[in-house]
Amino acid sequence: MIPAMYLAGLGAILFCLGLVGVFTNKNGIIVLMCVEIMLNAVNLNFIAGALHYGDVTGWVFATIAIAIAAAEVAVGLAIFLALFGERKTIVLDEIMRLKH
Protein backbone atom coordinates (compact mmCIF):
# COMPACT_ATOMS: atom_id res chain seq x y z
CA MET A 1 0.00 0.00 0.00
CA ILE A 2 1.39 3.38 -0.98
CA PRO A 3 1.41 5.69 2.01
CA ALA A 4 -1.18 8.48 1.69
CA MET A 5 1.56 11.03 2.26
CA TYR A 6 3.16 10.17 -1.10
CA LEU A 7 -0.15 10.65 -2.88
CA ALA A 8 -0.64 14.01 -1.17
CA GLY A 9 2.91 15.05 -2.07
CA LEU A 10 2.34 14.08 -5.72
CA GLY A 11 -0.90 16.07 -5.68
CA ALA A 12 0.91 19.16 -4.31
CA ILE A 13 3.63 18.91 -6.96
CA LEU A 14 1.04 18.53 -9.73
CA PHE A 15 -0.91 21.53 -8.37
CA CYS A 16 2.19 23.75 -8.39
CA LEU A 17 3.06 22.61 -11.92
CA GLY A 18 -0.46 23.46 -13.05
CA LEU A 19 -0.30 26.85 -11.35
CA VAL A 20 3.00 27.76 -12.95
CA GLY A 21 1.56 26.61 -16.27
CA VAL A 22 -1.42 28.93 -15.86
CA PHE A 23 0.88 31.90 -15.21
CA THR A 24 3.43 31.28 -17.88
CA ASN A 25 1.42 30.09 -20.87
CA LYS A 26 -0.25 32.56 -23.18
CA ASN A 27 -2.25 30.08 -25.15
CA GLY A 28 -5.76 29.71 -23.82
CA ILE A 29 -6.00 25.99 -24.54
CA ILE A 30 -2.81 25.24 -22.63
CA VAL A 31 -4.01 27.39 -19.72
CA LEU A 32 -7.19 25.31 -19.72
CA MET A 33 -5.14 22.13 -19.67
CA CYS A 34 -3.09 23.44 -16.75
CA VAL A 35 -6.30 24.16 -14.88
CA GLU A 36 -7.25 20.52 -15.51
CA ILE A 37 -3.94 19.39 -14.05
CA MET A 38 -4.64 21.46 -10.92
CA LEU A 39 -8.11 19.95 -10.65
CA ASN A 40 -6.75 16.44 -10.85
CA ALA A 41 -4.09 17.28 -8.29
CA VAL A 42 -6.89 18.16 -5.95
CA ASN A 43 -8.66 14.90 -6.79
CA LEU A 44 -5.50 13.03 -5.89
CA ASN A 45 -5.51 14.83 -2.53
CA PHE A 46 -9.07 13.78 -1.89
CA ILE A 47 -8.18 10.18 -2.58
CA ALA A 48 -5.12 10.42 -0.34
CA GLY A 49 -7.38 11.66 2.44
CA ALA A 50 -9.90 8.90 1.80
CA LEU A 51 -7.18 6.27 1.99
CA HIS A 52 -5.67 7.72 5.11
CA TYR A 53 -8.92 7.95 7.09
CA GLY A 54 -10.61 4.95 5.51
CA ASP A 55 -13.56 7.12 4.62
CA VAL A 56 -15.58 6.87 1.42
CA THR A 57 -16.41 10.62 1.22
CA GLY A 58 -13.12 11.43 -0.53
CA TRP A 59 -13.87 8.91 -3.29
CA VAL A 60 -17.29 10.42 -3.80
CA PHE A 61 -15.88 13.93 -4.01
CA ALA A 62 -13.26 12.87 -6.51
CA THR A 63 -15.86 11.20 -8.70
CA ILE A 64 -18.12 14.28 -8.67
CA ALA A 65 -15.12 16.54 -9.39
CA ILE A 66 -14.18 14.47 -12.43
CA ALA A 67 -17.73 14.67 -13.75
CA ILE A 68 -17.88 18.43 -13.23
CA ALA A 69 -14.41 18.89 -14.73
CA ALA A 70 -15.65 17.20 -17.91
CA ALA A 71 -18.52 19.64 -18.12
CA GLU A 72 -16.20 22.54 -17.34
CA VAL A 73 -13.82 21.60 -20.10
CA ALA A 74 -16.72 21.51 -22.52
CA VAL A 75 -17.79 25.02 -21.46
CA GLY A 76 -14.20 26.32 -21.51
CA LEU A 77 -13.57 24.98 -24.99
CA ALA A 78 -16.86 26.42 -26.19
CA ILE A 79 -15.84 29.86 -24.85
CA PHE A 80 -12.53 29.64 -26.62
CA LEU A 81 -14.27 28.65 -29.85
CA ALA A 82 -16.58 31.64 -29.60
CA LEU A 83 -13.65 33.91 -28.72
CA PHE A 84 -11.70 32.61 -31.67
CA GLY A 85 -14.68 33.23 -33.93
CA GLU A 86 -14.76 36.87 -32.84
CA ARG A 87 -11.10 37.75 -32.29
CA LYS A 88 -9.32 35.23 -34.49
CA THR A 89 -6.95 34.49 -31.62
CA ILE A 90 -6.89 32.73 -28.33
CA VAL A 91 -3.60 34.22 -27.12
CA LEU A 92 -4.53 35.69 -23.77
CA ASP A 93 -2.21 38.74 -23.94
CA GLU A 94 -4.02 39.91 -27.04
CA ILE A 95 -7.44 39.68 -25.42
CA MET A 96 -7.31 42.46 -22.83
CA ARG A 97 -11.01 43.26 -22.75
CA LEU A 98 -11.04 43.63 -18.98
CA LYS A 99 -8.92 46.77 -19.15
CA HIS A 100 -11.18 48.70 -21.48
- The binding site for other proteins (CB under 8 A) comprises 19, 22-23, 25-26, 31, 92-93, 95-100
Rounded to whole angstroms, the Cα distance separating 45 from 1 reads 16
Shortest spacing between CB 63 and other proteins, in angstroms? 26
Shortest spacing between CB 90 and other proteins, in angstroms? 11
Rounded to whole angstroms, the Cα distance separating 83 from 96 reads 12
Give whichever of 18 and 50 is closer to other proteins, judged by the CB atom.
18
From residue 86, how far is each of 35, 80, 99 by CA, in Å? 24, 10, 18
Give whichever of 59 and 80 is closer to other proteins, judged by the CB atom.
80
